[in-house]
């Protein structure tokens, strides 16, 4: 399915209603193909309505972010993969050698994957970390409150546009920053590891509601974290 068909079948823009399109790969780290079209990556369907994360993330921001920004990254990424004859490679393979590829592969591929990951890290059902995840957080940060404080500080101090990540690195948890659309899977990243959680701190992720108040957006983010998703990444 092409982007236009995908968006038409998956979204009823302006209504906050979401109709899930075709099934997608659950393994966003390794699968070279998602959706029905061979060698093309697709946006992961949202599992919640555009208004489901309010008041923390407003419906208009989520709609524009998903259907415009993320859709554009995905379309340009697929076009670049075709142009550079990189079809059939997994995300890990592409990012593991991204320094060898064009700026378009790095920027648009990162924008595609980072957003797919971010949407899954969000949920309208507020919870708390538990089990092995909570144990790991307490071990490596001292407490959940210490972890939240460090993560929030890292997110607030990303210079310009970028992301803050909780990663697993050598069986320990660590919080890192990346600029633009880079991520810890890329060979150019200063800090590499398995992503567990991320927050998008590009202005388009929060400006309609929070304007220049990034710390307020970050504080609200904690109300919509999908801790089940974070826990599943810890086990991967």
* Judgement on whether residues 77 and 177 belong to the same structural domain of the protein: no
CA–CA distances in Å: residue 199 to residues 86, 114, 155: 28, 9, 7
- How far apart CA 19 and CA 12 sit, in angstroms, is 8
Total structural domains in the chain?
2
Please tell me the predicted confidence (pLDDT) of residue 28.
67
Query: So what's the pLDDT on residue 160?
Result: 95
Both 43 and 101 in a single domain? yes
The answer to whether position 125 is within a domain reads no
pLDDT tens, 12-64? 333 333 333 323 335 667 655 444 344 689 899 999 999 999 999 999 999 99
What pLDDT is recorded for position 37? 46
Examine the domain organization and report whether 23 and 106 are in the same domain.
yes
Which residue among 120, 152, 172 closes a domain?
A: 120
The half-sphere exposure of 154 on its side-chain side, counting CA atoms within 13 A, is 21
User: How far is it, in rounded angstroms, from Cα 25 to Cα 36?
Assistant: 10
pLDDT at 40: 84
Query: What pLDDT is recorded for position 27?
Result: 65
**Structural domain for 150, as ranges:** 131-234
pLDDT digits (tens, 9 = 90+) for 109-142: 999 999 999 999 999 998 899 999 999 999 999 9
Same domain assignment for residues 38 and 99 = yes
* Continuous segment of H or E residues that includes residue 194: strand 194-200
* Shared domain check, 151 and 86: no
Split at pLDDT 50, 70, 90, the class of 159 is very high
One domain for residues 93 and 154 = no
More confident site: 217 or 44: 217
CATH number at residue 212: 3.55.40.20
Q: How far apart are CA 43 and CA 50, in angstroms?
A: 15
Same domain, 39 and 58: yes
Residues 168-209: tens digit of each pLDDT: 999 999 999 999 999 999 999 999 999 999 999 999 999 999
Inside any domain, residue 126: no
Please tell me whether residues 111 and 143 are part of one structural domain: no
The whole-number average pLDDT for the span 71-78 is 96
Residue 78 inside a domain? The answer is yes
Same domain, 186 and 142: yes
Which one of 120, 145, 179 terminates a domain?
120
% of the chain at pLDDT higher than 70: 83
- Residues near 203 by beta carbon (within 8 Å), at least 6 away in sequence: 161
Q: Domain check: are 11 and 107 in the same one?
A: yes
């Amino acid at each position: 399915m092409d982007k236009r068909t995908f968006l038409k079948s998956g979204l009823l823009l302006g209504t906050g209603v979401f109709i899930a399109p075709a099934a997608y790969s659950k393994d966003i780290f390794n699968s070279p193909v998602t959706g029905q079209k061979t060698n093309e990556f697709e946006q992961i369907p949202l599992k919640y309505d555009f208004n489901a994360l309010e008041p923390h993330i407003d419906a208009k921001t989520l709609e524009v972010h998903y259907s415009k920004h993320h859709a554009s990254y995905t379309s340009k990424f697929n076009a670049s993969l075709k142009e550079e004859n990189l079809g059939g490679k997994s995300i890990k393979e592409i990012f593991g050698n991204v320094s060898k590829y064009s700026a378009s592969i790095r920027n648009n591929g990162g924008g595609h994957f980072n957003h797919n990951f971010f949407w899954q890290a969000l949920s309208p059902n507020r919870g708390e970390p538990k089990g092995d995840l909570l144990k790991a957080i307490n071990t490596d940060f001292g407490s959940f409150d210490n972890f939240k404080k460090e993560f929030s500080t890292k997110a607030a101090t990303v210079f310009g546009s970028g992301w803050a990540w909780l990663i697993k690195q050598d069986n320990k948890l660590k919080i890192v920053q990346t600029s633009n659309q880079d991520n810890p899977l890329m060979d150019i990243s200063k800090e590499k590891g398995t992503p567990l959680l991320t927050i998008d701190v590009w202005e388009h992720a929060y400006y309609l509601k929070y304007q220049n108040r990034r710390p307020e957006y970050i504080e609200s983010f904690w109300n919509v974290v999908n801790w089940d998703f974070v826990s599943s990444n810890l086990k991967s």
